[in-house]
Amino acid sequence: SRLKPDATTDMVCGYCSTGCSLRIHLKDGEAINLTPTTEYPVNLGMACPKGWEALSVLDADDRATTPLLRTATGDLAPVSWDRAMTTMRDRFQKIGREHGPESVAFLSTGQLVTEEMALLGALTKFGMGMVHGDGNTRQCMATAATAYKESFGFDAPPFTYQDFEESDVIFLVGSNLCVAHPIMWERVCRNPHAPAIIVVDPRRTETAMAATLHLPIKPKSDLSFFYALAHILVREGWIDREYIEESTDRYEEFAEFVHAYTPERAAEASGVPVETIEQVARTIHEGKRVSFWWTMGVNQNYEGTRIAQSLINLALMTGNLGRPGAGANSITGQCNAMGSRIFSNTTGLYAGRDFKNAEHRQEVAEVLDIPVESIPTVDSWPYHQIIEGIRTGAIKGLWVICTNTSHSWIHQEDARELLSKLDFLVVQDMYHTTETAQQADLVLPAAGWGEKEGTFINSERRFGVVKKVRRPPGEALPDFSIFRLVADYWDCGEMFQRWSSPEAAFGVMQDLSRGRPCDLTGMGDYASIDHAGGAQWPCVEPAAEVDQQRRLFEDGRFYHEDGRAKFIWEETRAMPEEPDKSYPYLLLTGRGAASQWHTQTRTGKSAVLRKLYPQSIYVEVHPDDARREGIQQHSQVSVASRRGKLTATAFLTPTVQPGQVFIPMHYEATNRLTLAHFDPYSHQPSYKDCAVKLEAL
């Protein structure tokens, strides 16, 4: 029968950064079912609902199956690949001739396999002459990347998931791990040391409810709070003097700085009592293996880089780095955010290099055997500057790959309007129905996870392989093949001869990584990564011979020239849009359930996942606020900000604090409300704070 497989193969999941392995059941080479892989070191036989449903979303009716071109009457009509490629080339080249090649840009994603990101980065920048391209990882991990780079000298998450099971104190900051990374949460639950689990989050999330201590700090009081913890550690001498002297830089100035951040000041800012703050500092001091973990509550914050660094500072001053169960650990969002961070060739040159560094450009030119002059000498604009560039007229053509800007951008309405002003918009996606694809002049049908091969890099720096276990529908092609096709039509295919397949591109990436902190040269081919149970970077020796539960900085040496990690700090700043009389509530946004992913582009296609999650938009309101506003449980309510409004079903719950409301990000309307403001260092949008008003309908 159809349900009886004749073979199985393992591959990593294509949603979140946990990087679970799924065992695909095959019949005649085609996937018919899956179960979680039992012996993979990441998920140990577990998967969340998204993973279990990963195959079903490939069968959706709205898959893009042929290229679609906007006709004179405004419809999207099927065309051949030849017509699509010729049109894309002619339109982008015309824009380039009239406005310069840098007037065409691209927006990509942390969902592509690393080999596709790497090829896209080379094709656009070295072959097509683009300067500006960024990914949706800007909305996700840019802050962690910037924080690590400044503090450690390289974007290097130091941990392995084993640390969840080895800590005796686990700090989770701005992370609803239970829901956003459920398998990582399972790893916490397996910790045999009865750890103290301290959750710092304005909402009483599922994770907060399961914690030993929940600290519902006022939104955006993070910096004051963590500086006060540092203040107490300094005051009490609860620091690791030897570690500080051997491995860090600028501690004395930092200690001086936090002198002013008293527990009283933090209590005022955060709403957490002084005694609790003192107690938390004592818990850090008494812990033998203290780990600090953060995700979007920190990253999507206008002070995000400094907050991440305030956690790094706490780990550094207490010597909680490079040891089992310790670390200042950023949990990535998307399945390949880490790939984007080191191999996308967007705002940084390959393998953590710098476009502005002549030596770095030379190294890349030599590896790729291309003229060094073809490498831009400036960094790409980050996402919001590309959007801004459309407004100013600097960007006239845009290629959006596997992301849904018209839904997910922080100022959604503005993004939609600007995309409609472009001379030519190409959208490459699995589905022709995304909000962004609907605005396109040309849609390129892409294969999805399971229909192509390559690698993802998970949160703990582990490469895992994905495989082709289904045929893409119709004429859809793997993104890798589309990029090669574009190169041929652009007449720069010669330049990419070595990139003949994803696995060949993996070889190019290994060469690009040689001698860099993210050296992959020992990883071998896909089969050896599979054989080793995934492979963490760095990996210079053969993957199978290297311990695959490695953490960085065990020798106390960092990537800065002097080998030391830096303490970095800054005074706190006020929220740009505080609630006031007209807009009295603060809107928080975030993941709503383990069963949905981002803009629901894929997960919304699974009947099972849809059943697990309310399909119409809801807003969480505290019962006291509801009473004051005359809002009943499950009634319709208008939520408005200065930028837009929406109608949602009210869900009355004390898990939000009075004065705050919460709407999940998965709904199309959520980002009508949010305020476009950004961390100045990482340029990441601050999605989790804007003022709104409520009205019972």
Are the C-beta atoms of 386 and 400 separated by less than 8 Å?
no
DSSP conformation letters of 230-264: HHHHHHHT-S-HHHHHHHEESHHHHHHHHTT--HH
Pick the closer one to ligand SF4 by CB: 49 or 445. Answer: 49
Whole-angstrom Cα distance, residue 644 to residue 663?
14
Q: Whose Cβ is closer to ligand SF4: residue 146's or residue 603's?
A: 603
Output the smallest distance, CB 594 to ligand SF4, in A: 7
- For residue 382 the two structure tokens come to 């980050």
> Least distance to ligand SF4 from the beta carbon of 51, Å?
2
CA 230 to CA 222: how far, in whole Å?
A: 12
Count Cα atoms within 13 angstroms, Cβ side, for 489: 20
Nearer to ligand SF4, 48 or 321 (CB): 48
Alpha helices per DSSP H over 75-198: 81-99, 114-122, 142-152, 162-166, 177-180, 182-189
Distance CA 141, CA 133 (A): 16
Nearer to ligand SF4 by C-beta: 15 or 506? 15
Burial of residue 629 (CB within 10 Å: 0-12, 13-18, 19+) is middle
* In the complex, least distance from residue 143 CB atom to ligand SF4, rounded to whole angstroms: 21
CA geometry: angle 201, 258, 260, nearest 5 deg = 100
Chain centre distance of CA 494: 33
Q: H helices of 78-133, where?
A: 81-99, 114-122
Chain residues binding ligand SF4 by CB under 6 A are: 13, 15-16, 18-20, 43, 47-48, 50-51, 182-183
Would you say 303 or 530 has its CB closer to ligand SF4? 530
What values do phi and psi take at 95, rounded to 5?
-60, -45
Q: Are 660 and 588 in contact (CB under 8 A)?
A: yes
Least distance from ligand SF4 to the Cβ atom of residue 532, Å: 19
- Give the number of C-alpha atoms closer than 13 A to the C-alpha of residue 592, restricted to the C-beta side: 25
In the chain, % helix, strand, coil (3-state, to 5) comes to 35, 20, 45
The pair of structure tokens assigned to 652 is: 């009355």
Minimum Å gap between C-beta 182 and ligand SF4 is: 5
**Residue labelled with tokens 């830096």:** 566
Instruction: Locate 320 and state its tokens.
Output: 């909680």
**Euclidean distance between CA atoms 14 and 448, whole angstroms:** 9
Rounded Cα gap, residues 14 and 31, in angstroms? 15
Residue 548 neighbours by CB under 8 Å, 6+ apart: 41, 462, 532, 533, 534, 535, 536
| Residue 43 CB, nearest approach to ligand SF4 (Å) | 6
Q: How far is the CB of 314 from ligand SF4 (least distance, A)?
A: 27
DSSP state at residue 181: S
Q: How far apart are CA 313 and CA 152, in angstroms?
A: 11
Nearest CB to ligand SF4, comparing residues 16 and 485: 16
Shortest distance, CB of residue 49 to ligand SF4, whole angstroms? 7
Give 675's contacts (C-beta < 8 A, 6+ positions apart): 410, 411, 576, 577, 641, 642, 643, 686, 689, 690, 691
Q: What's the CA gap between 485 and 476, in Å, rounded?
A: 13
What's the distance, CA 510 to chain centroid? 23
Residue 50 or 622: the one with the smaller Cβ distance to ligand SF4 is: 50
Nearer to ligand SF4 among residue 43 and residue 344 (C-beta): 43
The dihedral region occupied by 531, where left means phi > 0, alpha psi between -120 and 50, and beta the remainder, is alpha
> Whose Cβ is closer to ligand SF4: residue 19's or residue 195's?
19
Closest-approach residue to ligand SF4 (CB): 51
Nearest distance, CB of residue 591 and ligand SF4, angstroms: 11
